[in-house]
Chains A and B, each alone.
Chain A
Amino acid sequence: MEAPTKMKEVLTGTTIIACTYDGGVILGADSRTSSGNYVANKVADKITKVCDKVYLCRSGSAAHTQAVAGYANLYLNQHAIELGDKGCSVKAAANIVKEIAYGNKAWMNAGMIIAGWDKKEKGKVFVVPLGGTLMDVPFAVGGSGSIYINAFVDRNWKPNMTKEECKSFVRKAVSLAISRDGSSGGVIRTVTVNEHEQVKEFVTGNEVPVYQDEIQSKGPPQVEFVSV
């Protein structure tokens, strides 16, 4: 037997997405965390709350993005205290995340999407990819799975969707990515944020839709033998 090789870093080979709709935003993510070929966590939560009504989708090194989310959470909580009843803006949250990602870009492996709702700008999505650029976008996809769904989201995204339209768009995008990306899988988590709510939901693994050449699981398997 081969001697144990060096430890592989735990990476969130991932599909993440965030999307504005009429009145708010929806964030989505798969739940697979892998270490090499091993699924280290099959029900990970890659959508982290950083302050009231602002969430962060994480991709890249789990350790790095967790640290960034932790620091962002710390600063934003203090910021919220200083602001009083005004509440943090999505932009301020995104700027803090950018500042951390950009300042440490030499060694940090973290691609993040910041999305949420604030009184001034309403639903907002920002993306901070690998180099620490800050982009203000109507929707964003990220992680290893995103390359499989770029064409899908470009074709199907439209401005001012309803909440239900947006949710099904997000879920469809993530499930398509899961169907082609080995590093994405598990359940589909979504967070919906608007003026009145911030709701966390998920689609269980067996209910994630499958596509081309796969079989949708529907309860106990029906095994049919075919004589040849």
Chain B
Amino acid sequence: MSGVGSGYDLSVTTFSPEGRVFQTEYAGKATDNGVPCVGVCCKDGAILAVEKPEETKMMLPNSNRRIFTVSRHCGMAVPGKLPDGRQIVSRAQQEAENYKRFYGETIPTKVLTDRLANFCHVFSLYWHLRPLGSAALTASFDDDGPHVYLSETNGVSYRYYGIAVGKGRQGIKTELERMKLDQMTCKEALKAVCKCLIKQRDDSSNKKFEIELAWISEETGREFVRVPADLAKECEAAAKKEIEQEEDDDSDMEG
């Protein structure tokens, strides 16, 4: 135990002498070690994508979901500890429903993510609680257009053009920065997002992967829905092909 936190990392209510709260940082690691999740905001909508390794050969495909619907205009991806993530999603669903009942309007994404950040933050305030082990990536479409927000377990939430969390996030972020997301439609971005995810795969492990894709755009009638299976497959295949092509080109040049 000695070393990392020197004893200041046991409680979420204790600061280290340098002013850090180690437990919240460790909780962040749970997200960092989670599956890669991408959220991008395009000119006509927003996309969420999660890449999941096949955990066992006996598991049915599509049975371990990581993208959830919060309300008609909003959905979430959870990269880290799945049960903790579901807790956030469930809270988000309640907040959306309550807001609608009281104000008669759909909840603005900023209000929703602010409230979720508060919710997460509370878990890092009491000694008898443990911080949540997953961030939440929100994609939505409200009166102000499409949004992508990331609400982290330490209680911050920011809006992004595009963001990646989980394993391999750095590589994906660099890729995202190169894209002109605000000029792309969701349909165009779909393949690009798949490409980012596939590129950072660890090929050595020989594992099978599954990409979960969901979006909300003008095309989906501003409803958060899964990308149709055939389109998702098509994008994934096209992305793979492009990557292979690029690799071939590279090796040609070397040759």
Contact = CB atoms under 8 A, between A and B. Distances in A.
Interface string A73-88: 0000001001110100
Contacts of A84: 110
A94 interface: yes
A96 interface: yes
B111 A96 contact: no
B108 A96 contact: no
A94 B104 CA distance: 9
Contacts of B102: 95-96, 99
A94 B101 CA distance: 12
A91 B108 contact: no
A91 B105 contact: yes
A8 interface: no
B123 to A, nearest CB: 21
B104 A91 contact: yes
- Residue among B103, B110, B111 with the highest chain A CB neighbour number at 10 A: B103
Contacts of B104: 91-92, 94-95, 98, 134
Contacts of A82: 111, 114
Contact of B103 (A86, A96, A120): A96
A89 interface: yes
B143 interface: yes
What does DSSP make chain A's interface, helix, strand, loop or mixed? Answer: helix
Contacts of A86: 108
A179 B143 CA distance: 46
Contacts of B110: 84
Contacts, number: 26
A54 to B, nearest CB: 13
B105 A92 contact: yes
A124 to B, nearest CB: 12
B162 to A, nearest CB: 24
B143 A79 contact: no
Interface in A41-88: 79, 82-84, 86
Contacts of B114: 82
Interface string A90-115: 01101110110000000000000000
A96 B111 CA distance: 18
A134 B103 CA distance: 12
A95 B104 CA distance: 6
B105 A89 contact: yes
A139 B9 CA distance: 63
Interface string B100-139: 0111110010110010000000000000000000000000
B249 to A, nearest CB: 49
A83 B101 CA distance: 17
A137 to B, nearest CB: 16
Contacts of B105: 89, 91-92, 95
Contacts of B101: 99
Nearest to B110: A84
A98 B108 CA distance: 21
B99 to A, nearest CB: 10
Nearest to B111: A82
B97 to A, nearest CB: 14
B47 to A, nearest CB: 25
15 contacts: A82-B111, A82-B114, A83-B111, A84-B110, A86-B108, A91-B103, A91-B105, A92-B105, A95-B103, A95-B104, A96-B102, A96-B103, A98-B104, A99-B101, A134-B104
Given A91-B103, A99-B101, 14 more contacts: A79-B103, A82-B114, A83-B108, A83-B111, A86-B108, A91-B104, A91-B105, A92-B105, A95-B102, A95-B104, A96-B102, A98-B104, A99-B102, A120-B143
Across the A-B interface, give the 5 residue pairs with the lowest CB-CB distance, nearest first. A95-B104, A92-B103, A95-B103, A91-B104, A92-B105
